[in-house]
Structure 1
């Protein structure tokens, strides 16, 4: 996506869809007339898919219709995104988008058959997620500061696994290298699971990986957790320092959100956003999301639109900083 076109399209996102009692009344007046589909552009069993199923289950009763997850995989999420862009804008089809599929891809892929800004209406941010900085136990680093010293002593000697160009693992590592003034040798994999397998096997040295994909391995001693990419420590991982404690200014997060096709009626957008927000306040649902390594959000459409504008600028800078490209 060219910068000028992207910024122009982002400027067209609505600042607000309406507010107060009138907006709530409008939302209450819309009800789905058939099952609602949440499209996931990634394989069943992954963190995006699992989160989508938590959301679907939690909003079914409130909407009065089944909410079903449908996986349309391929092309780094682009196939699922395109399907929703071409779907009827009636509130019955939405995409569960990740930062990668709905922001990063816009800067990596030329000639996408859809525009992530123009062809979609932001509904709600579902969650934030962070990464753990983990190393193989043989790496002589017990803290983030130790790792920085080791990496500076031997630039490029440490192999860092990433789940492909433009992945969360890639961005988190590149940002760390920039902030800490170190250099790793990046080893690219076709996903986080094979990279983690090689880290456990000692074939690579370090990874920045979503919390859910490393938590159990760290608890079992298969890898050593040095830090978390949140600006501060996570309550459920209070013994794991924030990387920023050793590398000031460092923070990295990713997110999931719901988007509807552009032109979806405002009452439908707002009603779905309200149902998701209510679910994210439910203690049981929050606990499920936190077990997956996510921080529940449940924002309004206008809050999500404003957040998304900022994110597109941040992701463009991360793509530049990391040098991410695709063939």
Structure 2
């Protein structure tokens, strides 16, 4: 009995010592480079936004921030890495709808629980998706595209950066809203998915404005509609989906999260740092050019967004009959 008591005491002391060490380190945070996991491929909307925010945050925090792309399974691989990382604030997640609100509803074997394993810091940005078609597609409006798809059931297709990412689900939402069946073709990242569209391997795709700007302007791609509440300043002549006769919105959102158990002082330091970073005139100017909206929220507001989006995509997944293959 005495041996058991001593073991319990020892374990308790070790636990308290570890907690004290973590709290002490948090007081002077950050004292070394911070790693930010972007669970998406280089050159895509997640990567572009992540690197811009990380650079601004690095300048505010006075510490190097290293962005690391971990591609795979619609963001699941990178998100799992962060969920299982030490909760010291030196490994963060640049999260988006795919691994936070879609994959957990799509894949019953998701190796993490967003509510249990991650702590939201703040949402940082949002941007609408644009519906794009290859120039060879004989449709210059959403209504013409829908009519074409209905005349060719099951033969048209759309690309995305992988099953379960936001731009994939935007296509499924479009199928439901328009009453069509355009077949999904997944690629390993948004960048190769767009390359496939420009090569004419697929008919259409949803993507954010930033990576497609030069291709729309050069005529390599044709934009039919934007998924936001209002027209994009960069394309004032491009109608919204609502103006095109389809009452739904679709776009990407991004935010920073940490592993569960991170000290509150670190959460506060990161949130304050991000608020200052997002107020940077240079970042604002860049995001205006890329049609990215800066969004600053409290940790609770970001957590509420994730829950709301999760409920939305659960319904879409069920309606579309999607499953992990």
TM-score between the two structures when normalised by the length of structure 1 = 0.83
Which residue does the alignment assign to 2:3?
A: none
The one of 184, 187, 207 equivalent to 1:186 is 184
Secondary structure in structure 2 of the residue aligned to 1:237: coil
Task: Report which stretch shifted further, 85-94 or 237-246.
Answer: 85-94
State the alpha-carbon separation in 2 of the partners of residues 153 and 270 from structure 1. 55
Which residue does the alignment assign to 1:246?
A: 244
The one of 256, 268, 293 equivalent to 1:270 is 268
State the alpha-carbon separation in 1 of the partners of residues 148 and 43 from structure 2. 36
State the alpha-carbon separation in 1 of the partners of residues 68 and 317 from structure 2. 29
Which residue does the alignment assign to 1:8?
A: none
Query: Is the contact made by 1:157 and 1:185 (CA closer than 8 Å) also made in structure 2?
Result: yes
The one of 77, 90, 93 equivalent to 1:92 is 90
Query: Is the contact made by 2:156 and 2:183 (CA closer than 8 Å) also made in structure 1?
Result: yes
State the alpha-carbon separation in 1 of the partners of residues 237 and 118 from structure 2. 40
Query: Is the contact made by 2:176 and 2:320 (CA closer than 8 Å) also made in structure 1?
Result: no
1:196 aligns with 2:194: yes
Aligned length in residues: 300
Query: 5+ residue gaps in structure 1?
Result: 1-27
Distance 1:157-1:70 versus aligned 2 partners, 3 A rule: closer
State the alpha-carbon separation in 2 of the partners of residues 187 and 83 from structure 1. 27
Query: Is the contact made by 2:233 and 2:291 (CA closer than 8 Å) also made in structure 1?
Result: no
State the alpha-carbon separation in 2 of the partners of residues 261 and 322 from structure 1. 32
State the alpha-carbon separation in 1 of the partners of residues 56 and 79 from structure 2. 23
Which residue does the alignment assign to 1:299?
A: 297
State the alpha-carbon separation in 2 of the partners of residues 106 and 250 from structure 1. 23
Task: Report which stretch shifted further, 198-207 or 166-175.
Answer: 198-207
In the TM superposition, what is the alpha-carbon distance from 1:51 to its structure 2 partner?
Answer: 2.1
1:109 aligns with 2:107: yes
Query: 5+ residue gaps in structure 2?
Result: 1-25
Distance 1:198-1:283 versus aligned 2 partners, 3 A rule: same
State the alpha-carbon separation in 1 of the partners of residues 29 and 38 from structure 2. 22
Distance 1:323-1:49 versus aligned 2 partners, 3 A rule: same
Structure (1 or 2) with the larger CA radius of gyration: 2
State the alpha-carbon separation in 1 of the partners of residues 176 and 225 from structure 2. 17
Which residue does the alignment assign to 1:318?
A: 316
State the alpha-carbon separation in 2 of the partners of residues 185 and 31 from structure 1. 48
In the TM superposition, what is the alpha-carbon distance from 1:273 to its structure 2 partner?
Answer: 1.4
Distance 1:73-1:281 versus aligned 2 partners, 3 A rule: same
TM-score between the two structures when normalised by the length of structure 2 = 0.83
Which residue does the alignment assign to 2:44?
A: 46
